[in-house]
């Protein structure tokens, strides 16, 4: 999704802005642009390009942008096709430039009003109305901030906004509603961005802008105002530089790097949270534990990969703890009539903490009177973290590849920790707790062992590369893992993939099976193994080619049309986490064969901050 970077400094800001944009590339975008003010010469220069940030870099080398105050943007088209004219920054007159994330829903009405007042439009975007509205307000305002504060009252929808003007050459004015903004604090220089990752080369001190805030960012000063215009102080957070995964190291893609980081990221999720035999009692505060003790049901809401993590947790919560649990995708949950029963804990799961649908669902849950809210999240200070009663951070470190990998497995670990925590007040035996904790302690080494089958999977990948459809099968808790495997394959290799609980095959999808339809099955040696084996035979009998990821003790016999990839024997509880890894590798190597843009697949964005 769109990205914003801005800087007010003594030094030239273009390199900072460009580096920031490069760091936001992972979020997905189609064009980029920059506007820089040189207070000494009184010039405002804008450059925009369709395509990758490198196009902007080339344009900058040819034309140059000098200045010490600037804003920059990567655009992911919502209103108006990807084009240079629609790229940000947008200007109004020759003095005012803005960048915007989000969507202004009432832009058509505002556009007509502005046209009637003589404004001309040079783009198809909703954003250009923001530039003209502020320009118009400036005529009767005492400051740029005043103009922005008066303008935003007219906007319906979401915005993260940064504005510069030649009449206020030492300021960036910002506003936030619905789209995240963060300030980076320097010495004699300050920065803004939509994601702190963009600013890690220049600072590790951040202020997360709250909903409804506006502010002025200057070299030596930051002034913030809440939604009612009152001066506010916001907490400064220090970001651990170790979490900056800004380069790919020895790997060709961030996705592969992040798949290989999983033993480490899972360890980071576990650190300090389990002892040798039990869950540590310091994961939650005393007050939070008092709330969790009362919980008698769980409702999980999330999107995409995070939804799959929640779907696994439903099995855990009901199997291990006996707590009733429901799960729903956020985009449906937010618009459906709900019945809230008992003391239901409302759990959201999100890598970014900024997914618009999940955030809206959280806000709806508060109106509906859910007992308490908890988020499983990877980004400290994100909107979901700030707006939830409790949070359990996944500590996976920055995930850059659009396709979620280490965020997913660490979400599963965090959800398993939450399951144990809720188990404590719901009759979970010490013995069961000890067994799960032992498996969790082993998990990083299980993943290490699983990564060793990389080459074997690489060799199988070419068998998928020319196919158009694939089926993924799983049973029980492995069904959501099959769903996650199918999602990974379709999003990065563009091969249509669907997941089915294997027992459903005979009710329809079996009709699809022929020699052109590879079928992938996740088959740990659990109580459903024999049933799954029968389902696989049904497929074989119809000429389907099978690729089965199975426990090495399962005794499956490979054949020409029956490929078996053996995984280490692991406990049932952590098996879904372990079996995720080969499916990630499979989709990665199929996409590599096909030559797709693995880290930034077409049409997708890392953090989906619009509905």
Task: Write down the catalytic residue from 2, 303, 325, 377.
Answer: 2
Spatial contact of 368 and 386, defined as CB atoms under 8 Å apart:
no
Residue 404 Cα distances to 202, 257, 308, 596, 606, angstroms: 26, 12, 11, 16, 9
Among 185, 303, 489, 505, binds ligand F6R (CB under 6 A): 303
Q: Which residue is nearest to ligand F6R (CB)?
A: 304
Site for ligand F6R in 491-520 (CB under 6 A): 491
Among 28, 160, 184, 304, binds ligand F6R (CB under 6 A): 304
Task: Pick the stretch among 209-217, 224-232, 344-352, 542-550 that binds ligand F6R (CB under 6 A).
Answer: 344-352
Query: What tokens appear for 535 in the block?
Result: 């389902």
- Kindly tell me which of 33 and 401 has the beta carbon lying closer to ligand F6R: 401
Among 171, 351, 373, 478, binds ligand F6R (CB under 6 A): 351
Q: Binding of ligand F6R at residue 352 (CB under 6 A)?
A: yes
Q: Binding of ligand F6R at residue 358 (CB under 6 A)?
A: yes
Residue 547 Cα distances to 460, 474, 525, 589, angstroms: 9, 12, 16, 15
- Kindly tell me which of 33 and 304 has the beta carbon lying closer to ligand F6R: 304
Query: What tokens appear for 176 in the block?
Result: 């936030």
Query: What tokens appear for 496 in the block?
Result: 């249509």
Is 606 among the residues known to form the active site?
A: yes
Task: Write down the catalytic residue from 45, 406, 488, 606.
Answer: 606
Task: Pick the stretch among 231-239, 252-260, 304-312, 437-445 that binds ligand F6R (CB under 6 A).
Answer: 304-312
Please give the helix or strand (H or E) that residue 245 lies within, else none: none
Distance CA 69, CA 48 (A): 17
Q: What is the closest distance, in whole angstroms, from the C-beta atom of residue 345 to ligand F6R in the complex?
A: 18
The site string for ligand F6R over 176-195 (x = CB under 6 A, - otherwise) reads --------------------
Task: Pick the stretch among 121-129, 149-157, 302-310, 389-397 that binds ligand F6R (CB under 6 A).
Answer: 302-310
Spatial contact of 67 and 43, defined as CB atoms under 8 Å apart:
yes
Q: Binding of ligand F6R at residue 608 (CB under 6 A)?
A: yes
- Kindly tell me which of 523 and 608 has the beta carbon lying closer to ligand F6R: 608
Q: Strand 496-501 vs strand 518-523: parallel, antiparallel, or unpaired? A: unpaired
Query: What tokens appear for 251 in the block?
Result: 């790997």
Cβ neighbours of 419 (radius 10 Å) = 25
Place of tokens 């030094």: 11
Strand pairing partners for 99?
Answer: 162
Alpha-carbon dihedral sign for residues 539, 542, 544, 547: positive
Q: Binding of ligand F6R at residue 350 (CB under 6 A)?
A: yes
Is 227 among the residues known to form the active site?
A: no
Residue 577 Cα distances to 34, 59, 136, 179, angstroms: 42, 46, 55, 32
Site for ligand F6R in 391-420 (CB under 6 A): 403-404
Q: Binding of ligand F6R at residue 305 (CB under 6 A)?
A: yes
Q: Kindly list the residues in this chain that would bind ligand F6R in the complex (CB under 6 A).
A: 303-306, 350-352, 355, 358, 403-404, 487, 491, 607-608
User: So which residues are the catalytic ones?
Assistant: 2, 606
């Amino acid at each position: 999704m769109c990205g914003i970077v801005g800087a007010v400094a003594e030094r030239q800001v273009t390199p900072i802005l460009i580096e920031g944009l490069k760091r936001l590339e992972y979020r997905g975008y189609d064009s980029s642009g920059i506007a820089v003010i040189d207070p000494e010469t009184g010039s405002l220069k804008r450059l925009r390009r369709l395509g990758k940030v490198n196009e902007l870099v080339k344009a900058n080398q040819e034309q140059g942008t000098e200045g010490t105050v600037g804003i920059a943007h990567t655009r992911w088209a919502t209103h108006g096709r990807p084009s240079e004219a629609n790229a940000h920054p947008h200007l109004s007159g020759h003095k005012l430039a803005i960048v915007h994330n989000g969507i202004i829903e009432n832009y058509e009405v505002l556009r007509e009003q502005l046209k009637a007042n003589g404004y001309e439009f040079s783009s198809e975007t909703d954003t250009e109305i923001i530039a003209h509205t502020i320009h118009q307000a400036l005529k009767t305002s005492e400051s740029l901030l005043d103009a922005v504060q008066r303008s935003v009252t007219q906007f319906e929808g979401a915005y993260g906004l940064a504005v510069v003007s030649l009449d206020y050459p030492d300021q960036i004015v910002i506003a936030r509603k619905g789209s995240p903004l963060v300030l980076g604090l320097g010495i004699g220089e300050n920065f803004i961005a939509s994601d702190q990752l963009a600013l890690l080369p220049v600072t590790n001190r951040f202020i997360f802008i709250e909903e409804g805030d506006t502010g002025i960012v200057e070299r030596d000063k930051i002034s913030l105002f809440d939604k009612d215009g009152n001066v506010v102080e916001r907490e400064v957070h220090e970001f651990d530089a170790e979490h900056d995964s800004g380069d790919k190291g020895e790997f060709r893609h961030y996705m592969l790097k992040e798949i290989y980081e999983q033993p480490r990221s899972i360890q980071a999720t576990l650190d300090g949270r389990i002892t040798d035999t039990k869950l540590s009692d310091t994961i939650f505060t005393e007050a939070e534990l008092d709330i969790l003790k009362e919980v008698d049901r769980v409702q999980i809401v999330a999107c995409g990969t995070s939804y799959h993590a929640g779907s696994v947790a439903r099995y855990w919560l009901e199997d291990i703890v006996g707590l009733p649990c429901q799960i729903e995708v956020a985009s449906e949950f937010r618009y459906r009539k709900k019945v809230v029963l008992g003391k239901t804990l409302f759990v959201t799961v999100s890598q970014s903490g900024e997914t618009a649908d999940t955030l809206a669902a959280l806000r709806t849950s508060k109106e509906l009177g859910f007992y308490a809210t908890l988020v499983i999240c990877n980004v400290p200070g994100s909107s979901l973290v700030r707006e939830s009663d409790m949070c359990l951070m996944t500590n996976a470190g920055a995930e850059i590849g659009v396709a979620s990998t280490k965020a997913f497995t660490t979400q599963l670990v965090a959800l398993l920790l939450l399951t144990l925590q809720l188990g404590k007040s719901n009759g979970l035996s010490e013995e069961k707790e000890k067994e799960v904790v032992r498996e969790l302690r082993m998990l990083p080494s299980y993943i290490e062992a699983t990564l060793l089958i990389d080459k074997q999977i690489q060799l199988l990948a070419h068998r998928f590369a020319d196919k158009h459809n694939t089926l993924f099968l799983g049973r029980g808790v492995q069904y959501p893992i099959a769903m996650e495997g199918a999602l990974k394959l379709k999003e990065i290799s563009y091969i249509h993939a669907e997941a089915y609980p294997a027992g459903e095959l005979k009710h329809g999808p079996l009709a699809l099976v022929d020699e052109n339809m590879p079928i992938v099955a996740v088959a740990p040696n659990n109580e459903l193994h024999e049933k799954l084996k029968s389902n696989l035979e049904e497929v074989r009998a119809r000429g389907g080619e099978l690729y089965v990821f199975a426990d090495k003790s399962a005794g499956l016999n490979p054949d020409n049309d029956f490929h078996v990839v053996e995984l280490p024997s692991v406990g049932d509880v952590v098996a879904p986490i372990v079996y995720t890894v080969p499916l990630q590798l499979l989709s990665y190597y199929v996409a590599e064969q096909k030559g797709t843009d693995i880290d930034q697949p077409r049409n997708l964005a890392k953090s989906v901050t619009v509905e």
